[in-house]
């Protein structure tokens, strides 16, 4: 079995998403993954995930990486968290996690030479982890695949360089990674098109591999609904609720309006995931506690089992200049649950296209006056009339996003990259080198 290194941050994560499932199923396609991740105190959920689902025999290495910024002292001494964040952005380039790159690169180079590894895959975010692949490729000649699970500098809602100089250097570094990597993995079709159109990455050096869902994690499709308090219209939400830019306030206010119209005792909104103090304060201030239930961060299996019993699943998404190319990971999990979906976000984006193609639900922009309320009301009336909301999803479309099929696509990309005979090691003249020739 051929060996491939996966460099990824925070493995396995509380939910096991991201690269976990790809790594889990890769041995079925002839590749033995070796995982390099940062050292961090694993949670009980992570330990449970590794114990129950991580294949035996796969090697996992944790390298040293500071988890806290040395500038946090400024935050305490000067009572200025903003100053600490600014210093972080000034000093740590391209991001704070660059401090873990030396140890990660050293371990990768040693493993490539000792284990006969033919390919290294670096996964982001954080984007600094791609520097591990850049260094390993330069030192060993090993093939390098850069796996992007999100946009980089184009995602302006999180990409906020400290200075214009930092912004220019970051753009150059981004182009360097796209130029040097032997192959790119894009997690959405929109991102794939951005890499090709904006950064001139050849189509034969890219593969579209969505995040997907694991059919073995999805509860039985015949799972019984909530048995307590029958006659209640239940809405479910999985994951981080109030990420910056999410229209969570608009959704909660629309839900409040629905509850006022039909009676608070007939509506419940179940959130399984992180909810910030800001959102909790908003829920208290708007008197939503009677029908908004916060379950906190849960293991994926437990969270899936809970939201699978609700009548309607909700996904919130940004509406920005680049959000059309982004697909929230939870959408794939929702598709696997075969439940009706209400998307709140771009009506012409990739998220909307997937929902529409799968015939899995509807999407509404939060900018539309009463749009969210109107959609919630329509779903409620259907539920009230029929006792449930019928699901008419297209199975053949949904199954495209099953993780085992996607892992096969990744394995094919690895094979093509490793077997490519002709490889131009010189950068085009308009590409930055950063002294890497």
Q: Tell me, yes or no, whether 426 lies in a domain.
A: no
Q: Are residues 150 and 117 in the same domain?
A: yes
As a whole number of angstroms, the distance between CA 281 and CA 297 comes to 18
Q: Which of 7, 125, 135, 120 lies closest to 60, judged by CA?
A: 7
Distances (CA, A) of 385 to 235, 339, 378: 17, 18, 11
Both 372 and 266 in a single domain?
Answer: yes
How much is the pLDDT for 430?
43
3-class DSSP state for residue 415?
helix
Whether 228 maps to a domain, the answer reads no
Mean pLDDT value across residues 273-294:
96
Into how many domains does the chain fold? Answer: 2
- Tell whether 191 and 304 lie within a shared domain: no
Assign residue 361 the CATH number of its domain.
3.40.50.2000
**6: in domain:** yes
The stretch 4-13 carries a mean pLDDT of: 89
Assess whether 294 and 389 both reside in one domain: yes
Are the C-beta atoms of 126 and 9 separated by less than 8 Å? yes
> Same domain for 179 and 316?
no
> In the predicted model, is pLDDT for residue 158 greater than 50?
yes
Kindly state whether residue 435 falls inside one of the protein's structural domains.
Answer: no
Tens of pLDDT, residue by residue over 35-77, are 999 887 667 777 777 767 777 788 999 998 777 777 776 666 6
Q: Cα(414)–Cα(182) distance, rounded to whole angstroms?
A: 10
- Burial 379-389, CB ≥16 within 10 A → b, else e: bbebbeeeeeb
Same domain, 125 and 268: no
Range of the domain at 109: 2-212+403-419
Both 165 and 32 in one domain: the answer is yes
Over residues 332-383, the pLDDT tens digits come to 999 999 999 999 999 999 999 999 999 999 999 998 889 999 999 999 999 9
| Residue 267 and residue 167 share a domain | no
Are residue 168 and residue 242 in the same domain, yes or no? no
């Amino acid at each position: 079995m051929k060996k491939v290194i996966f460099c990824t941050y925070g493995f396995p994560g509380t939910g096991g998403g991201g690269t976990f499932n790809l790594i889990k199923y890769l041995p079925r396609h002839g590749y033995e993954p070796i995982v390099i991740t940062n050292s961090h105190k694993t949670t009980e959920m992570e330990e449970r995930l590794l114990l129950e689902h991580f294949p035996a025999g796969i090697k996992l290495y944790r390298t040293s990486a500071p988890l806290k910024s040395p500038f946090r002292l400024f935050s305490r001494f000067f009572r200025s968290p903003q100053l600490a964040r600014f210093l972080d952005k000034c000093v740590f380039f391209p991001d704070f996690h660059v401090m873990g790159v030396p140890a990660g690169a050293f371990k990768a180079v040693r493993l490539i030479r000792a284990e006969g590894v033919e390919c290294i895959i670096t996964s982001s975010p954080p984007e600094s982890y791609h520097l591990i692949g850049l260094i390993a490729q330069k030192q060993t000649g090993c093939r390098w695949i850069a796996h992007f699970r999100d946009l980089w500098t184009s995602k302006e809602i999180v990409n906020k360089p400290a200075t214009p100089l930092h912004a220019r250097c970051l753009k150059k570094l981004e182009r360097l990674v796209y130029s040097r990597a032997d192959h790119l993995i894009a997690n959405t079709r929109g991102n794939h098109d951005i890499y090709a159109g904006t950064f001139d990455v050849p189509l034969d050096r890219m593969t579209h591999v969505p995040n997907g869902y694991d059919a073995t994690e999805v509860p039985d499709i015949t799972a019984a609904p909530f048995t307590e308090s029958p006659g209640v219209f239940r809405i479910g939400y999985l994951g981080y609720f109030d990420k910056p830019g999410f229209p969570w306030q608009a959704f909660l206010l629309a839900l409040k309006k629905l509850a006022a119209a039909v009676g608070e005792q007939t509506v419940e909104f179940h959130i399984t995931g992180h909810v910030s103090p800001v959102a909790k304060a908003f829920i208290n201030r708007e008197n939503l506690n009677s029908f908004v239930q916060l379950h906190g961060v849960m293991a994926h299996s437990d969270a899936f089992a809970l939201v699978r019993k609700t009548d309607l699943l909700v996904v919130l998404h940004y509406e920005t200049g680049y959000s059309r190319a982004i697909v929230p990971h939870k959408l794939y999990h929702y598709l696997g649950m075969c439940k009706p979906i209400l998307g709140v976000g771009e009506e012409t984006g990739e998220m909307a296209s997937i929902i529409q193609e799968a015939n899995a639900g509807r999407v509404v922009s939060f900018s539309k006056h009463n749009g969210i309320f109107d959609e919630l009301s329509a779903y409620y009336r259907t539920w009230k009339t029929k006792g449930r909301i019928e699901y008419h999803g297209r199975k053949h479309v949904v199954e495209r996003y099953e993780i085992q099929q996607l892992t096969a696509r990744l394995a094919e990309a690895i094979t093509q990259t490793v077997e490519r005979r002709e490889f131009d090691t010189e950068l085009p003249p308009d590409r930055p080198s950063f002294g890497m020739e």
